[in-house]
Amino acid sequence: MVRNDILLESGTNELEIVEFIVGNNKFGINVMKVKEIIQPLPVTNVPHAHPFVEGIIELRGEVLPVVNVARALGYDEMERTEKDKLIVTEFNKLKVVFRVHAVTQIHRVSWSQIEKPSDMYQGMETQITGVVKMHDEMILLLDFERIVIDIHPESAIQKEKLKHDVKDARSDKKLIAAEDSPLLRRLLRETLTEAGFKQIEFFENGQEVIDYLNGLKDQGKEAAEEVDLIITDIEMPQMDGLHLTKRIKETPEWESIPVIVFSSLITDDLKHKGQQVGVDAQVSKPEIHILVEKIDELLFDTE
């Protein structure tokens, strides 16, 4: 099963999710992260590998790590069956293979149908990015980036790559950032503050950004004068970053505000989706140093 570009139009606030089974739970992954789904291949064990990592496989000349999702979620080891599948993914500029117990179907849903997990949940709250209610059942969207960061911390935002030349002018610029992950919001705040940006407003999804911009209008303020630049993730409950960008660029009083997409989904295969909705720049997580460079280009190189 190879991923097809099912969503031909960008900015519709919809996504395709691959539903898969681990234990007795139904989980989901964004199709945009999935390269293909294959039958299990022989896995070569690697000494002293992380407990979540089964080993490595060779796929079309590439050596890729295989992550056991059941282990990552704390499930008891289950006997492997003929239904086991390997989901080959690409995000954060990494290719990683995930073993699951079965792959069932693909759903097309709106981000507005996806609810943010409650802080009251126990156990897996940090590994779930959203909950989709489907036909009296619930599909849990797994935070695959978090699993990879647990295994490979270097794949998180690397502050040490930032250049240490802090521009005084950065402190005068008002940034807005839409990011649903509390971990990444904290890392973004820390790194952008270290780079000299002092005025940063964070929101958990695109809808909150739209509400904020409309609120400025209601106060008689010009959003383009109050906001210098918007940074947005793509995958967010309620409203994703591509639809947010589309809304901004189609609104005359907002269209001049630069928008940077900062997402794990920025790959050569997917960049066209951002271009279709008019983003001003696209940066792949975890390259925070490139994000700062792009912010500077958009804010200062045009002055």
Span 55-71, pLDDT tens digits: 999 999 999 999 999 99
Cβ atoms 285, 177 nearer than 8 A: no
Cis link prior to 42 (omega < 30° from 0)?
no
**DSSP secondary structure code for residue 152 in this structure:** -
Question: Which of 9-18, 162-171, 247-256 is predicted with the least confidence, judged by mean pLDDT?
Answer: 162-171
Tokens 């790194």 — which residue? 191
Does 4 score more than 60 pLDDT? no
> Which of 270, 273, 272, 296 is CA-nearest to residue 93?
270
Query: Mean pLDDT, the chain, as a whole number?
Result: 86
83 exposure class (CB count in 10 Å sphere: 0-12, 13-18, 19+): exposed
Does 123 score more than 70 pLDDT? no
pLDDT at 102: 94
Tokens 């022989």 — which residue? 42
How far does CA 110 lie from the centroid of its chain? 16
Position 153 confidence tier, pLDDT thresholds 50, 70, 90: confident
- Digit-coded pLDDT (tens) for 263-292: 988 877 677 788 889 899 999 888 888 899
* pTM for the full predicted model: 0.82
Position 181 confidence tier, pLDDT thresholds 50, 70, 90: confident
pLDDT at 158: 63
Does 10 score more than 90 pLDDT? no
Tokens 């993730």 — which residue? 233
The dihedral formed by the CA atoms of 246, 115, 136 and 120, expressed in degrees to the nearest 10: 170
Position 164 confidence tier, pLDDT thresholds 50, 70, 90: low
CA atoms of 223 and 255, how far apart (whole Å): 10
Does 160 score more than 70 pLDDT? no
Mean local confidence (pLDDT), 93-112: 92
Residue 147's H or E segment, with its range, is helix 144-151
- Digit-coded pLDDT (tens) for 125-148: 468 888 898 778 899 999 898 888
Q: Which amino acid is at 156?
A: A
- Digit-coded pLDDT (tens) for 68-97: 999 999 887 777 778 899 999 998 888 999
- Residue 38, strand partner residues: 86
How far does CA 3 lie from the centroid of its chain? 18
End-to-end distance of the chain based on CA atoms, in angstroms? 49
pLDDT at 161: 58
> What's the chain's length in residues?
303
Over pLDDT 90: what percentage of the chain?
A: 52
pLDDT at 272: 79
Quickly count: other Cβ atoms within 10 Å of residue 113's Cβ: 17
pLDDT at 280: 95
CA atoms of 228 and 230, how far apart (whole Å): 7
